[in-house]
């Protein structure tokens, strides 16, 4: 028999994000240089991984953990109302 230990379920996306954040805090210039050296395609992939986490969804057979890209809503400022040509209150 091999060595047994309790396997802890981890979210590999959260683990990677935490490691990347720690690297960024320890050496922000090196992190910027490393990301800048990536191709635009790889930068997009990295961005996607950093915005992905595991979520639990309910299915007919029970619960399943799946990877989902988390998108935060951006605040969109309303366009300033345009003055109508017939409105001249000044």
Return the closest-CA partner of residue 16 out of 49, 54, 59, 55.
Answer: 49
5-39 tens-digit pLDDT = 666 677 788 888 899 999 889 988 988 999 999 99
Q: Is residue 1 part of a domain?
A: no
How many structural domains are present in the chain? 1
Q: Is residue 43 part of a domain?
A: yes
Q: Determine the structural domain holding residue 27 and report its residue range.
A: 12-69
Residue 80 has pLDDT above 70, yes or no: no
Q: Is residue 40 part of a domain?
A: yes
Angle (CA) 23 12 45, round 5°: 70
Return the closest-CA partner of residue 54 out of 15, 7, 8.
Answer: 15
Contact 20, 34 (CB under 8 A): no
38-75 tens-digit pLDDT = 999 999 999 888 888 887 777 777 777 777 776 665 66
């Amino acid at each position: 028999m091999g060595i047994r230990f309790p396997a802890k379920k981890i979210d590999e996306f959260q683990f990677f994000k935490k490691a990347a954040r720690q690297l960024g805090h320890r050496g922000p210039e090196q992190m910027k240089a490393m990301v800048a050296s990536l191709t635009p395609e790889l930068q997009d992939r990295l961005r996607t991984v950093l915005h992905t986490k595991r979520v639990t969804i309910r299915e007919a057979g029970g619960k399943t953990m799946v990877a989902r890209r988390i998108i935060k809503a951006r605040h969109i400022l309303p366009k300033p109302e345009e003055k109508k040509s017939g409105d001249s209150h000044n």
